[in-house]
Each structure stands twice: as C-alpha cells, then as structure tokens.
C-alpha cells in the first residue's frame, strides 16, 4: 500500500501501545461492514489461524480465542474460566502483572495461592514445587512470562514443567513477549498464552486473545461460569459454531491486526528479535553514557524493558524529563517499583536502535536542563 498521507511518527518507549507503521494504521480505513458478513468472518478466521502459528502451536491441539478489550480482559477470562469447582489457582507472583491475576481471582472469589517473590528477581522454583506438593487442590498455575513492570523474564518452561508434573494447567501471561521473543508453546510447556493487539504485534488497541489447548477449553464447559461477557468456553464455542465473537468485535482493530500479522511474517521472527535486542543494547549504552543504572540485573532482563534508577540528588524531575522528550516525539514511562524512583524504557514497537540513539540525544539535553553535567557522578 502506498501511503499518501504519512502520520506524524512518535517513538513510544512506554509499555504499550507501541509505535506502529502507517500501513497498519491505514488498514483500519475500510468500507463500512457488518461483522456478521461472511467477508468479515473470513478475516477473523485468517487472524485466528495466524495467531496460533506465531507461537508455533499445532492447530489440531491449540486454538485462538479473541476478546474485545485490552490485555487484562484475557487475564480475566482465563482466571475466571479455567478453575474447576472447589479447586484453586496458584499465581507465581513477582510483579504487578502477576499480582493482577491474583486480584482477578479475588474478585471472582476463586481460592488463590499467592506465591509472592521479590519483584527484582526470579521466582524460587523450589518454593513453587513445594507449594504444589503440599496443596492437592491447585488445578491451575499462572505466571507472567515477561514482567513489563520491571523487565524481568521469568523461567516459564521450568514453571510449566513443575505445573504439569503436578497435573495442573499452566497459564503464561505472554502479553509483552508474544510476537517479540520467539515462543514455542509446547517447548515452553505453556497450555494458555495470551496477548493484545497493541503490544508486540504493533497493531491498534481493542482486541486481545489467548492461544490455548482445545481439550482444556472443552473441559472448562463444566466449570462454574463466573462471567457472562468473558467466559472462555462460551466465546470459543461461538467461534467454532459461527466463526466470530459472541458480541460485537472491534472491527477496525481486527483489520489492523490482520495487516500487523502480515508485517510480522515479512520481517520474520528472528530478525524482529534481533532488531529489538539491538534497541535494548542501545538503551543500556545510552544509560551508561548518562551515568544511569538499571534496577534489574541485566542477565535476567527480557531485552524489552529497562527499569532505570532515577538519580537521588533532588534535582531529578520525571515530569521535566518526560515533557522535554514528549515534545520531541519520544514517550517515556514512570516506574512501578515501590520505594524507589524509577522510569522505564520499553522497546516493543516498530522502532530501531537508531530511534533509541536519537532518544538519548534528547534525553541528555533534558538532563542538562535539569542541571546535570554528563556523565552524572
């Protein structure tokens, strides 16, 4: 597609939505269509099949179920739908997105074992195993693949193995890794993964999905129904019988997602991962030049998010830094760590290491304006 009217390009370094291409933006501009038409059902069908392929899942065993909403809607659907009556969910919790699944369980009054670990490190696998050895009522284990709040990459393959050894279903929140890091569902021992259109695939906000095991979805038909709008089996069943979402889908977002998937394959899984790794290296280089350090050990980072410690001399003002960068086309994001002033740089979208270098030119100016000489001592 030739773009006649390019849209002002912003480099988003916040944890999603991400920077998108103009071809993805313009893919939303389509003739008005009723989503119950065969033409749209075909688009939905293609998107569902492609979403299964991205995570190398066998379409005979796994399927994609989409929901209207941001990523949290899928966390909600999986937590509320996959726990049988009188059973529990166990959340391996070392950050704010795992904590969200604990909260969802609490809102639905689902018994939940909240296995809390410090958000600056990896979960203790021995403690996970012990918790599952001890409690035979746990039927589902859930955790976050990449904690977008800190940048920590969790060992999902190992956690999934422990879950399976105990006969549990394993749910991994891959919302900020899907389409960014190569994921093979079976190799990673993941029964249900998830994502959202505005994250790694760099489409528009409004559609989210899980790729999950068909036989587990079918089993869940007999589990307590705790939500009307986002029940997993109900949505799956409608897709299988009618080929579409039970209720109105985000039509234009689905068209942009279809285009974003095409661009994903055009770039390729590994080249994309390499492009993002280079962005992440450029973030570390820029930080070092300014004299800033990361909160999380580089060795356990997912190469997508860096949480940076703000200088503790009273001169640092996040909003000054933010506004100076924002006016120049770069969006940064405050941190999510209690008791420590931080900010985050996330490289999730269609950006290159060159964008990161350009960002640091601007960031250095902002630091000088705050009264720093660079490098900061």
Q: How far is the CB of 276 from ligand PLP (least distance, A)?
A: 15
The whole-angstrom separation of Cα 324 and Cα 364 is 10
Residue 97 binds ligand PLP (CB under 6 A): yes
Query: Measured between alpha carbons, how far is residue 289 from residues 280, 282, 357, 361 in Å?
Result: 14, 11, 11, 11
Nearer to ligand PLP, 166 or 199 (CB): 199
- Near ligand PLP by CB under 6 A: residue from 52, 71, 102, 255: 71
- Give the H or E element holding residue 208: strand 207-213
Which is nearest to 171 in space by CA: 147, 140, 150? 140
Those residues whose C-beta lies under 8 Å from the C-beta of residue 12, and which sit 6 or more positions away, are 18, 19, 331, 346, 348, 349, 351
Radius of gyration of the chain (CA): 21
Nearer to ligand PLP, 173 or 355 (CB): 173
The whole-angstrom separation of Cα 261 and Cα 327 is 31
Q: How far is the CB of 334 from ligand PLP (least distance, A)?
A: 15
Residue 15 binds ligand PLP (CB under 6 A): yes
Range 125-164, binding ligand PLP (CB under 6 A) = 144, 148
- Near ligand PLP by CB under 6 A: residue from 113, 175, 193, 304: 175
DSSP for residue 227: -
Residue 255 binds ligand PLP (CB under 6 A): no
293-298: which pairs have CB atoms within 8 A and are 24 or more residues apart?
294/151, 295/120, 295/150, 295/335, 295/337, 295/340, 295/342, 296/120, 296/150, 296/151, 296/152, 297/121
- Near ligand PLP by CB under 6 A: residue from 11, 12, 16, 296: 16
Residue 359 binds ligand PLP (CB under 6 A): no
Q: How many residues bind ligand PLP (CB under 6 A)?
A: 14
Q: Is the dihedral of CA 343, 295, 315, 362 positive or negative?
A: negative
Residue 176 binds ligand PLP (CB under 6 A): yes
**Window contacting ligand PLP (CB under 6 A); options: 4-12, 169-177, 249-257, 312-320:** 169-177
Spatial contact of 260 and 20, defined as CB atoms under 8 Å apart: yes
Q: How far is the CB of 235 from ligand PLP (least distance, A)?
A: 17
Residue 119 binds ligand PLP (CB under 6 A): no
The whole-angstrom separation of Cα 71 and Cα 27 is 21
Nearer to ligand PLP, 196 or 235 (CB): 196
Q: How far is the CB of 343 from ligand PLP (least distance, A)?
A: 16
Largest distance between two CA atoms of the chain: 64
The whole-angstrom separation of Cα 142 and Cα 157 is 12
Nearer to ligand PLP, 103 or 357 (CB): 103
Nearer to ligand PLP, 166 or 235 (CB): 235
Residue 304 binds ligand PLP (CB under 6 A): no
Residue 331: burial class (beta carbons within 10 Å; 0-12, 13-18, 19+): middle
**Window contacting ligand PLP (CB under 6 A); options: 71-79, 183-191, 295-303, 361-369:** 71-79
Site for ligand PLP, rule CB under 6 A = 15-16, 70-72, 75, 97, 144, 148, 173, 175-176, 196, 199
């Amino acid at each position: 597609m030739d773009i006649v009217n390019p849209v002002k390009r912003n480099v988003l370094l916040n944890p999603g939505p991400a920077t998108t291409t103009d071809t993805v933006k313009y893919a939303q501009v389509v003739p008005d269509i009723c989503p119950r038409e065969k033409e749209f059902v075909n688009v939905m069908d293609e998107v569902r099949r492609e979403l299964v392929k991205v995570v190398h899942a066998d379409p005979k065993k796994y399927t994609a179920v989409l929901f209207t909403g941001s990523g949290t809607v899928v966390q909600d659907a999986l937590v509320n739908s996959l726990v049988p009556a009188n059973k529990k969910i166990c959340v391996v919790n070392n950050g704010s997105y795992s904590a969200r699944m604990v909260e969802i369980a609490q809102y639905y009054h689902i018994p939940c074992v909240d296995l809390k670990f410090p958000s600056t490190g990896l979960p203790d696998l021995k403690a996970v195993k012990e918790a599952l050895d001890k409690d035979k009522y746990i039927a589902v284990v859930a955790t976050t693949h990449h904690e977008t709040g800190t940048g920590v990459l969790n060992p999902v393959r190992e956690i999934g193995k422990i879950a399976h050894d105990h006969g549990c279903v394993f749910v991994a929140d891959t919302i900020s890794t899907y389409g960014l890091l190569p994921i093979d569902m079976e190799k990673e021992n993941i029964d249900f993964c998830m994502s959202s259109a505005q994250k790694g695939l760099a489409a528009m906000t409004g559609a989210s999905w899980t790729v999950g095991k068909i036989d587990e979805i079918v089993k869940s038909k007999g589990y307590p129904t705790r939500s009307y709008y986002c029940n997993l089996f109900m949505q799956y069943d409608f897709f299988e019988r009618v080929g579409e979402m039970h209720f109105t889908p985000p039509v234009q977002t689905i068209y942009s997602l279809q285009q974003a998937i095409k661009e994903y394959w055009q770039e390729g899984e590994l080249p994309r991962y390499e492009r993002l790794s280079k962005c992440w290296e450029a973030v570390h280089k820029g930080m070092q030049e300014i004299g800033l350090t990361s909160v999380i050990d580089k060795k356990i980072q997912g190469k997508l998010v860096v949480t940076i410690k703000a200088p503790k001399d009273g001169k640092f003002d996040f909003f000054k830094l933010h506004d100076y960068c924002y006016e120049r086309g770069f969006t940064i994001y405050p941190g999510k760590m209690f008791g420590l002033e931080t900010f985050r740089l996330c490289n999730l979208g269609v950006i290159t290491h060159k964008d990161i270098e350009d960002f640091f030119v601007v960031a250095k100016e902002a630091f000088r304006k705050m009264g720093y000489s660079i490098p900061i001592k």
